[in-house]
Amino acid sequence: MHSFHKRRHPRRAVGSKGCVYAGKDAIPCVIVDMSHQGARLQLAVNHALPRRFSLLVSAAEPLLECELVWQNEATAGLRII
């Protein structure tokens, strides 16, 4: 059976380290995959993310403002806003 994704922009595998900034918390993560509009993260610890937070993809890039779409324990999906 075929699986079709209804994404506007295809996600590409990333596998690089990042960091979520939520209030005073800095939560290390791995950016599993990413597109122009969203990403899937694997958090280093099981931490409930707020509705909005910032994501550092690399020190050479500005912080991305994000909105939580879903979270299942330490895995989260986000939309870049």
Rounded average pLDDT per 10-residue block, the chain, 81 residues: 54 91 95 95 95 95 96 97 95
pTM for the model stands at 0.84
CATH number at residue 39: 2.40.10.220
Predicted confidence at residue 3, as pLDDT, reads 43
- DSSP letter assigned to residue 35: -
Q: Is residue 67 part of a domain?
A: yes
Token digits of residue 54: 């910032």
Predicted confidence at residue 1, as pLDDT, reads 43
Q: Is residue 64 part of a domain?
A: yes
Using alpha carbons, select from 3, 8, 81, 79 the residue that is nearest to residue 38: 79
Q: Is residue 42 part of a domain?
A: yes
Predicted confidence at residue 11, as pLDDT, reads 78
State which residues form the domain around 39.
Answer: 12-80
Other Cβ atoms closer than 10 A to 48:
10
Q: Is residue 34 part of a domain?
A: yes
Please state the domain count of the chain: 1
